[in-house]
Amino acid sequence: MKKMRTLLGLALAVGAALSLTAPAFASDYSFATTAPQDYYGSTSYEDVYGCQYNYGGRNAADYDVPELEYGRMSTTQTGIMEQTILPGLQGTVVRDSGSYGIGGEGSGPLTELVIDGTGGSGPAVTPTIPTVQQPIYTSVSGMARADGSIGTLSIPKLGISVKVWEGETNASMAKGVGHYSSTSGWQGNIGMCGHNRGARYNIGTIKNLKPGDIITYTTIYGTRTYEVTMVKTISNTDWSYLQGTADNRITITTCLENQPTKRICVQAVEKSA
């Protein structure tokens, strides 16, 4: 009997040892968790900000910049971008009633944002809001003179006096210089082009112009005097200098000798009286 109890105990001990080394199966484990119900927070505007969304007006979310109090100056101008246009930016926003922009005629004076630049204890500073003007343009329709040209370009320093013909084509440049049809005919930015060599009429010497040199342009509307402000080599795919402007200027381009991918670009702005 004692021997049987000893064998039974030994069997139980061996069984327990084997149970410790036997591999466990997935069914032996439970991964149940108690994740909170609000793990994904509410995205409702009212729940987040505690107020209703104000359509068409200012909302709490507009000024939710914890690093910077609304209206305070910073290197990125955070907080005042709604009131001012950052320096150096250009646009075509004008003051007119009912259109997007910085206020409008008939809508009352502009609201000035006063910023205390000393943290609340110094003189107030009112930022300047620049006036952004719209490019001006004159159609060439009705500008043709008796011979069909639309104007005469003169550059006294270079001894150039040529007629201007509509269209940036070889036919136009064979008779003088061509007018870029996408540009203005009188007011604003007038774009012209011509041969640099190998033709009866060529303007290749414009590369020798300097800032301050004079250019005149005569049309049925009169004669304007322009002062050279830029002489630059540009890519033959760069059309940026032909964009409309709010001032009166002439932009002239011609090819650059032995460099087919380059152009000489001259800009001259109307000389003030």
Of 180, 211, 215, the closest CA to residue 194 belongs to 180
Give residue-wise pLDDT tens across range 199-218. Answer: 999 999 999 999 999 999 99
Q: What is the rounded average pLDDT of the residues 251-264?
A: 95
Q: What is the rounded average pLDDT of the residues 105-133?
A: 52
Amino acid at 247: D
pLDDT at 133: 81
pLDDT at 56 > cutoff 60:
no
Per DSSP, which regions of the chain are E strands?
Answer: 115-116, 124-125, 151-155, 160-166, 177-179, 189-194, 214-219, 222-235, 249-256, 259-270
Say if CB 179 and CB 241 are below 8 A apart. Answer: no
Give residue-wise pLDDT tens across range 73-116. Answer: 434 333 333 333 333 333 333 333 333 333 333 334 433 344 44
Please give the helix or strand (H or E) that residue 13 lies within, else none: helix 2-21
pLDDT at 16: 57
What is the C-alpha separation between 83 and 129, in angstroms, rounded? 8
Banded model confidence at residue 178, pLDDT cuts 50, 70, 90: very high
Q: What does residue 202 show for φ and ψ, rounded to 5 degrees?
A: -140, 150
Of 218, 207, 211, 177, the closest CA to residue 194 belongs to 177
What is the C-alpha separation between 58 and 53, in angstroms, rounded? 9
pLDDT at 88: 38
pLDDT at 85: 37
pLDDT at 182: 94
CA 189 vs. chain centroid, Å, equals: 20
Neighbours of 172 (CB within 10 A): 23
Say if CB 111 and CB 129 are below 8 A apart. Answer: no
pTM score above 0.85: no
Share of the chain above pLDDT 70, in %: 51
For residue 70, the 8-state DSSP code is: T
Q: Is pLDDT larger for residue 93 or for residue 185? A: 185
pLDDT at 272: 85
For residue 7, the 8-state DSSP code is: H
